[in-house]
Amino acid sequence: MKSINDFSFTFQKELSGLYDPRECDSLFRIVIEDVTEFSSAKIKAFPESELTVVQSDAINNILDELKTGKPIQYILGYAEFYGLRFNVNPSVLIPRPETEELVEWVISSVGSLKSAGGSILDIGTGSGCIGISLKKNLSEFDVTALDISAAALWTAKENAEINQVNLNFILADILNLKSEIENPKRQTPLEHLEKTTNSEKFEIIVSNPPYVTLHDKAQMHQNVTDFEPHTALFVPEDDPLIFYKAIADFASKNLESGGLLFFEINESYGEQIVNLLTDKSFKNIELRKDMSDRDRMIRAMF
Ligand code: GLN
């Protein structure tokens, strides 16, 4: 019989080629908690606890998958974001902590809007983590989540149900918005995903679009590049701001005057995105760093 402690050593040994010791320890804790349903306090306090054969087998199976570089969130099928649980699969990006900071910024900014409610649009919603955590905390707003991927939208819809909130869902390509929304072929597989933007404008538009260039890709961990959806991550090297331009254009037509646009950004393009927004007549543009001190998000008023 293996104890919790035995697995701590196994994780350090088996995963040392892929993760540093701190990451191995964090993976070990996540897996033990998931399989045993012990609290993290219990795992710390009783490292000699013996595990059942069924539990040990389950841990070994997860360890085998981890050794292929597959992210733990895809193996377990969920991730935590903004205190909520989200189902994830390889059709959606795994929610990142820096995106929680963007959500926090949106929530703390609503006081400056003219109206006490209204509509929010999340462009490129993926798992739905931004839109759903906003709806959960700003229930007076109508939230619409848009994505180019039907599989992502189904995941977002499932996550809205898990977290007991109602959102509107739109299947569309923000780079080619009109034609995609009007294309009936694209709509059919999603007949249950309602499309409701009316012609009303939004108080808030938020987006964490793809922003990773080939240059950044070379520095990224293999478990991101090999497993996460490339449509959610990568942009053409010769037009890295393609999504920011399209979304800023869309926002300038679809935001209320005094409405707010929020972006998560690539740390290398802060100044360029500020300039782009200035050219498109946005005001009060603010660039913020994330907890790792990298330029990571922008807020602009229309
Ligand atoms: N922050 C993510 C990463 O570096 C990228 C997110 C995005 O492209 N929108 O993996």
Q: How far is the CA of 77 from the centre of ligand 1 (A)?
A: 19
How much of the chain exceeds pLDDT 70, in percent?
93
The predicted-structure confidence for 95-121, as pLDDT tens digits, reads as follows: 999 999 999 999 999 998 888 889 999
Beta bridge partners of 301: 260, 283
What pLDDT was estimated at residue 187?
Answer: 44
Given the CA of residue 224, which atom of ligand 1 is nearest to it? 10
List the chain domain ranges: 4-67, 92-301
What pLDDT was estimated at residue 108?
Answer: 97
What pLDDT was estimated at residue 194?
Answer: 43
Higher pLDDT, 182 or 8: 8
Q: How far is the CA of 70 from the centre of ligand 1 (A)?
A: 17
Given the CA of residue 209, which atom of ligand 1 is nearest to it? 9
- Our mutation pick for probing the ligand 1 site, out of 233, 295, 297, counting the most ligand atoms within 8 A of Cβ, is 233
**What is the spatial distance between Cα 68 and Cα 132, in angstroms, rounded to a whole number?**
31
The answer to whether the CB of 211 falls within 8 A of the CB of 263 is: no
Backbone angles phi, psi at 295, to 5 degrees: -55, 120
- pLDDT band at residue 247 under the 50/70/90 scheme: very high
Residues near ligand 1 with C-beta < 6 Å? 96, 208-212, 224, 233, 264
Q: How far is the CA of 241 from the centre of ligand 1 (A)?
A: 14
133 Cβ neighbours under 8 A, 6+ residues apart: 81, 82, 84, 100, 103
The predicted-structure confidence for 19-50, as pLDDT tens digits, reads as follows: 999 999 999 999 999 999 999 899 999 999 99
The predicted-structure confidence for 55-87, as pLDDT tens digits, reads as follows: 999 999 999 999 999 999 999 999 999 999 999
- The whole-number average pLDDT for the span 262-285 is 97
- pLDDT band at residue 189 under the 50/70/90 scheme: very low
The predicted-structure confidence for 130-165, as pLDDT tens digits, reads as follows: 999 999 999 999 999 999 999 999 999 999 999 999
Length of the chain: 302
Helix (H) or strand (E) run with residue 168 in it: strand 168-171
- pLDDT band at residue 178 under the 50/70/90 scheme: low
The closest alpha carbon to 175, from 242, 234, 240, 266, belongs to 242
Nearest CA to ligand 1 atom 1: 96
- Name the CATH superfamily housing domain 92-301: Vaccinia Virus protein VP39 (3.40.50.150)
- Our mutation pick for probing the ligand 1 site, out of 92, 96, 231, counting the most ligand atoms within 8 A of Cβ, is 96
What pLDDT was estimated at residue 170?
Answer: 93
Is the pLDDT score of 6 beyond 60?
A: yes
Nearest CA to ligand 1 atom 10: 224
The answer to whether the CB of 84 falls within 8 A of the CB of 108 is: no
The answer to whether the CB of 157 falls within 8 A of the CB of 133 is: no
Q: Which of 8-12, 93-97, 142-146, 180-184 shows the lowest mean pLDDT across its residues?
A: 180-184
Residue written as token pair 């649980």: 85
Backbone angles phi, psi at 184, to 5 degrees: -65, -25
Helix (H) or strand (E) run with residue 169 in it: strand 168-171
**What is the spatial distance between Cα 225 and Cα 102, in angstroms, rounded to a whole number?**
23
